[in-house]
């Protein structure tokens, strides 16, 4: 089993389902009444990793990879088919009171707020459920109101709140008992850019102030890049990568992008001498160059073109993930302490801060 000091320790986790199969049509429906055919579906298969206290970890994968299933096992909502799991020193599926006091699960597509009542009523309900004292409740609510800015909206009926305001109140309701471990499943889904930034900022500050362990799943790669120094990637229920986010980008896409703004017209042939031209229009260009050639390319460009502005960027994380899942990033586990599919995850002692 991974180290006892880990906030989350997973060893050879598997979760399978028996799924009923039948062909379309009335005759097939009748036959299935007498003889049901099933197949075994592996939602998670031989998954191992550990997470140290206080880490912020992105848990990524394509749709159907097993991310939400894993989070539900870690939070005790599902029983694993095989393997061992420990969260905050507890076995999640036992759902002991001490375990429930230490974790929370926030799912962007589900809500616990009561639709026709103000969020303050849900806060009061959770206070009673968790047995929070008056003093702790007032202190925690004061901190959450300051961090999230919900003092006014908490007294309005939930149905009158915007999606972003509801998500802020969902976070407050989930954090009233001061959990040590947060499982966040798509917490910014459907939010506008300003509200996404606000939620990300809150998650970061909560982690820094409480030293809480955070496991985040999101299809918004900006969430992951902003919050998670380490990522765990699974595909078809198996571990594909575990390690530093920037190292993954370098290994899958070993290039840099140079965004250029010109003070005058520039010849495409000039740019092609130093790299691949990804776009060129209206005094702007985007070049892709090998990382080892970045410095000489920049020096040459600055001496040859009328450049008003120059920015160096990594390839978009969406492209990196797409390439990894397409199978062209199969060498991603060879550097930086990462573990490709089929190999053990790195120990918690090596986890990124």
CATH of the domain at 229: 3.40.50.300
What is the distance, to the nearest Å, from the Cα of residue 234 to the centroid of all Cα atoms in its chain?
12
For 157, counting Cβ atoms within 10 Å of its Cβ (0-12 exposed, 13-18 middle, 19+ buried), the class is middle
72 part of a folded domain? yes
The number of folded domains in the chain is 2
153 part of a folded domain? no
pTM for the complete prediction? 0.79
Both 85 and 98 in one domain: the answer is yes
Both 242 and 260 in one domain: the answer is no
Residue with tokens 């990462």: 338
Q: Report the C-alpha gap between 62 and 100 in whole angstroms.
A: 29
Question: Which tens digit of pLDDT belongs to each residue from 175-212?
Answer: 999 999 999 998 888 788 888 888 899 899 999 988 99
Both 81 and 14 in one domain: the answer is yes
Q: Which domain holds residue 295?
A: 254-313
338 part of a folded domain? yes
DSSP run (H or E) holding 174? helix 163-175
> pLDDT at residue 345 above 60?
no
Residue among 236, 240, 239, 253 nearest 315 (CA): 253
Both 213 and 304 in one domain: the answer is no
Both 206 and 308 in one domain: the answer is no
160 part of a folded domain? no
Mean per-residue pLDDT for 251-262?
87
Q: How confident is the model at residue 100 (pLDDT cuts 50, 70, 90)?
A: very high
**Residues of 20-53 as b/e, b for ≥16 C-beta within 10 angstroms?**
eeeeeeeeeeeeeeeeeeeeeeebbbbbbbbbbb
Mean per-residue pLDDT for 87-102?
95
Q: Report the C-alpha gap between 224 and 249 in whole angstroms.
A: 13
pLDDT at 255: 87
pLDDT at 82: 95
């Amino acid at each position: 089993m991974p180290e006892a000091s880990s906030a989350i320790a997973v060893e050879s986790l598997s979760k399978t389902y028996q799924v009923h199969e039948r062909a379309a049509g009335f005759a097939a429906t009748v036959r299935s009444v007498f003889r049901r055919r099933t197949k075994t579906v592996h939602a998670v298969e031989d998954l191992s990793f550990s997470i140290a206290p206080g880490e912020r970890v992105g848990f990524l994968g394509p749709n159907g990879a097993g991310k939400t299933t894993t989070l539900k096992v870690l939070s005790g909502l599902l029983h694993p088919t095989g393997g061992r799991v420990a969260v905050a020193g507890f076995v999640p599926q036992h759902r002991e009171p001490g375990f429930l006091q230490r974790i929370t699960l926030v799912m962007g597509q589900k809500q616990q707020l009561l639709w026709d009542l103000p969020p303050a009523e849900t806060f009061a309900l959770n206070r009673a459920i968790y047995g929070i004292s008056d003093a702790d409740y007032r202190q925690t609510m004061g901190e959450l109101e300051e961090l999230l800015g919900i003092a006014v909206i908490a007294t309005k009926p939930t149905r009158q709140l915007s999606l972003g305001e509801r998500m802020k109140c969902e976070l407050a309701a989930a954090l009233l008992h001061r959990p040590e471990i947060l499982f966040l499943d798509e917490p910014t889904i459907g939010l506008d850019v300003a509200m996404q930034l606000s939620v990300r900022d809150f998650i970061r500050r909560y982690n820094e102030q409480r030293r809480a362990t955070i496991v985040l799943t999101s299809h918004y790669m900006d969430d992951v890049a902003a919050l998670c120094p380490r990522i765990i990637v699974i595909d078809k229920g198996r571990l594909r990568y575990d390690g530093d986010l920037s190292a993954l980008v370098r290994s899958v896409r070993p290039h840099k992008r140079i965004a250029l703004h010109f003070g005058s017209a520039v010849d495409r042939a000039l740019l092609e001498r130093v790299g691949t031209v990804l776009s060129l229009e209206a005094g702007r260009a985007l070049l892709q160059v090998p990382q080892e050639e970045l410095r000489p390319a920049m020096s040459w460009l600055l001496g040859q073109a009328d450049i008003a502005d120059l920015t160096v960027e990594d390839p978009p994380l969406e492209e990196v993930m797409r390439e990894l899942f397409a199978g062209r990033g199969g060498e991603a586990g060879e550097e930086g302490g990462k573990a490709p599919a089929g190999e053990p995850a790195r120990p918690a002692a090596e986890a990124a801060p």
